[in-house]
Amino acid sequence: MKLSVAVEWLARGLVVLGGLALVAITCLTVVSVTGRAFVRQGLGPVPGDFELVEALTAFAVFAFLPWCQLRRGHAAVDVFTRFLPERANRAIDLIAEVLMTLVVVLIAWRLWHGMAEKRLYGETTFILQFPVWWGFAAALAAAAAGVIVSVHVAVRRLRDLLAPVPSATDPSAPGSPGGAA
Predicted local distance difference test score (pLDDT) of residue 171: 54
Q: Is residue 172 part of a domain?
A: no
Q: Is residue 85 part of a domain?
A: yes
Predicted local distance difference test score (pLDDT) of residue 76: 80
The mean per-residue pLDDT over the stretch 13-37 comes to 97
The mean per-residue pLDDT over the stretch 87-105 comes to 95
Predicted local distance difference test score (pLDDT) of residue 92: 94
> Does residue 148 register a pLDDT over 80?
yes
Q: Is residue 18 part of a domain?
A: yes
The mean per-residue pLDDT over the stretch 122-144 comes to 96
Predicted local distance difference test score (pLDDT) of residue 1: 61
Q: Is residue 173 part of a domain?
A: no
- Say if CB 146 and CB 161 are below 8 A apart: no
Task: Report the amino acid identity of residue 21.
Answer: A
C-alpha span between 147 and 19 (Å, rounded) = 20
> Does residue 160 register a pLDDT over 80?
yes
- Residue-averaged pLDDT of the chain: 91
> Does residue 111 register a pLDDT over 60?
yes
By CB atoms closer than 10 A (0-12, 13-18, 19+), residue 125 is: middle
Grade residue 128 by pLDDT with cuts at 50, 70 and 90: very high
Q: Is residue 152 part of a domain?
A: yes
> Does residue 180 register a pLDDT over 80?
no
The angle subtended at Cα 80 by Cα 79 and Cα 84, nearest 5°, is 125
Predicted local distance difference test score (pLDDT) of residue 88: 93
Q: Please give the tally of structural domains in the chain.
A: 1
Q: Is residue 68 part of a domain?
A: yes
C-alpha span between 82 and 77 (Å, rounded) = 9
Predicted local distance difference test score (pLDDT) of residue 179: 47
| Backbone angles phi and psi of 46, in degrees to 5 | -70, 125
Q: Is residue 169 part of a domain?
A: no
CA dihedral sign of residues 14, 17, 21, 27: positive
Q: In this predicted model, what pLDDT tens digit does every residue of 29-83 receive, in sequence order?
A: 999 999 999 999 989 999 999 999 999 999 999 999 999 999 988 888 788 888 9
* Boundaries of domain holding 109: 3-162
Predicted local distance difference test score (pLDDT) of residue 174: 53
Q: Is residue 175 part of a domain?
A: no
